[in-house]
Amino acid sequence: MSVLVFTLRAEPEQRLNLSTLVPHRLDKLTQREIESIAIETTKVVTKVGDMFRVRKGDPAQIRFAGGSRRFDRIAEAMTAGTILVEGDVGARAGRLMNSGTLTVSGSAGPWVGSGMEGGSIIVAGDVGEWLGGPLPGEMAGMRGGVVTVKGNAGREAGHRLRRGTIIIGKKAGPYAGRAMIAGTLIIAGGAGPLPGYLMRRGTIVLNEAPEQLSPTFADSGPVELVFARLLAESVKLQAPAAAKILNRPLRRLSGDLALEGKGEILLPV
Amino acid sequence: MRTLKVRGLRIDDSFAEAFPMSGTAIIITAPTLKWARQAATTMTGFATSVIACGCEAGIDRALTAKETPDGRPGVRVLLFAMAPDMLQTQLMNRLGQCVLTCPGTACYADIGGEKKLKLGSAIRYFADGWQISKKIGGRHFWRMPVMEGEFVCEATTGMTQKAVGGGNLLIMGDDFATTLRATEAAVAAIGKVKDAIMPFPGGIVRSGSKIGSKYKALIASTNHFYCPTLKGAVATELDDDIGCVLEIVIDGLTSEAVSAAMRAGLAAIIRLGPKRGALRVGAGNYGGKLGPHHYHLKDLLP
């Protein structure tokens, strides 16, 4: 069966909550039923058919022809299948995702992969703040899966990351991996000030020394890690630059010693 | 004993009788094959027979750097025991004493299956709170700080209860030198068969046993029917021209692996021929009533 396509009719005039357009919620619906799904918006209630031209297809494979920074909550709580957005997306893309793949050819807003439990998110452009992070009031951020960002990430990428892997191809903003609980955060193009600030456990891999590091990280010196080889092997297809860093001789910084200090920042020697 | 004649060799019309076992497979890697093999050799050293070792274990094969999870050379080790809990105990003890301790090594699962045995999960507490859990690509690893650096070990490995233990060949010859030559040829051939190991020293056992003993405390004793020095004094299975018997015992993750191993060993002995090698090949059984797996030599001829 062919791909289910939502072609954007025109740039939306208000923010759209697209959390209903995920494979498991569209399963067994007719084209008319899909077109009549109401989209929560900020002002005027609208329907899927008003915003998109819908081309019938397999709801396990969804394609958005055209994106917008006003596309919020895309692929939210997705349980299986694939969603491809040809363009940008807004806030909370892939939040609470459980399985499947979300691919964004453009850039994404804040909270990409927030609270995600499994599956894979690939963003070709940049992402906003709190990549994988919790919403206010939540205890933990991302809990599993893999997020690959080819571009830059905003401040506090990997905030309260608990499990899973985040790879940032270019630069990350300040406080990357802030209060990390565990998990793995790789930044291949340079980190802003104070990466790993108040991290408990987990691994942050950097391509170079950050412009500012908290004094509560202790230099454990050069290390040879079999674990780095395993990680390199697992990311080499989606992020060859990250794999390259991991295959270089590495230095380990232990921290944040202001807390448990069982986390680490790995840097090329 | 009825025998078949194949290229001058006498093949007994007999069968090996084998038993179901619980089995598992792991990969040990190291910076060099030498150290991976050392860990594997140490781990499988005292693992010849479940009678007194708790498990039977051996090296299945060496692996190139491309075949292992961490891109370093390695070896594949198979372990077998009569029950899953015994296998777990042996695996944990041997992993902790022989692999964790060996310089440069890391350890990974190499068999699937719903039933799991603990690997790193069983020994992670050695790290005294500094152990690090990592999930990479759907697999769960434990990193344990050690004096040399870090020991990486997969959390669990799979287990099969369809493994088979006790495939065997009895290689009989004129003297020690020719019998050993034939047996070594068989060991080399069986070594190439995947999913099967020969747990005895160098793959060979010279003290095959029968069930029971005249001494009440012993559950097994020397197989006097095949002892050449007792020929004439006791009921014997040996012909006049047989002066030495060696045995190869085979454990496999599947019944197919055991029969493939026996077939490969038999072919190698026959290829060597009776002039330089063995005169006769037999197989050990208990009358067929104890073990569900029977491997008839006549079905395994090349």
**In this prediction, what percent of chain A has a pLDDT beyond 90?**
96
Q: Which residues on A lie below 8 Å from B143 (Cβ)?
A: 225, 227
Query: Is the full-model pTM beyond 0.90?
Result: yes
- Give A55-98 pLDDT, tens digit per residue: 999 999 999 999 999 999 999 999 999 999 999 999 999 999 99
CB contact under 8 A, A227 and B71: no
pLDDT at position A173 is 97
Q: Sign of the C-alpha dihedral, residues A101, A102, A104, A105?
A: positive
| Residue A121: strand pairing partners | A102, A147
The distance of B271 to chain A (nearest Cα, Å) reads: 44
CB contact under 8 A, A230 and B130: no
The distance of B136 to chain A (nearest Cα, Å) reads: 7
- In this prediction, residues B241-268 reach a mean pLDDT of 98
A231 touches chain B (CB under 8 A): yes
Is pLDDT of B214 > 80? yes
The distance of A94 to chain B (nearest Cα, Å) reads: 19
| Residue A47: strand pairing partners | A38
Residue B169 binned pLDDT confidence (cut-offs 50, 70, 90): very high
Is pLDDT of B137 > 80? yes
Residue B211 binned pLDDT confidence (cut-offs 50, 70, 90): confident
Cα A255 from Cα B249, distance rounded (Å): 53
Residue A45 binned pLDDT confidence (cut-offs 50, 70, 90): confident
Cα A266 from Cα B4, distance rounded (Å): 67
CB contact under 8 A, B136 and A225: no
pLDDT at position A98 is 96
A227 touches chain B (CB under 8 A): yes
- The label of the residue with tokens 């030495």 reads B244
- Give B77-104 pLDDT, tens digit per residue: 999 999 999 999 999 999 999 999 999 9
* Cβ atoms of residues B119 and B109 within 8 Å: yes
Residue A43 binned pLDDT confidence (cut-offs 50, 70, 90): confident
B100 touches chain A (CB under 8 A): no
Write the secondary structure of chain B as one string of H (helix), E (strand) and C (coil): CCEEEECCEEEECCEEEEEEEEEEEEEEECCCHHHHHHHHHHHCCCCCCHHHHCCEEEEEEEECHHHCCCCCCEEEEEEEECCHHHHHHHHHHHHHHHHCCCCCCEEEECCCCCCEEECHHHHHHHHCCCCEEEEECCEEEEEEEECCEEEEEECEEECEEEEEEEEEEEEEECCHHHHHHHHHHHHHHHCCCCCEECCCHHHCECCCEEECCCCCCCCEEECHHHCHHHECCECCCCCCCCCEEEEEEEEECCHHHHHHHHHHHHHHHHHHHHHHCCCEEECCCCCCCCCCEEEEHHHCCC
pLDDT at position B127 is 97
Cα B41 from Cα B37, distance rounded (Å): 6
pLDDT at position B142 is 98
- CA nearest to B142 within chain A: A227
A234 touches chain B (CB under 8 A): yes
- Give A124-148 pLDDT, tens digit per residue: 999 999 999 999 999 999 999 999 9
ipTM, two decimals: 0.92
pLDDT at position B180 is 98
Cα B132 from Cα B109, distance rounded (Å): 18
Is pLDDT of B238 > 90? yes
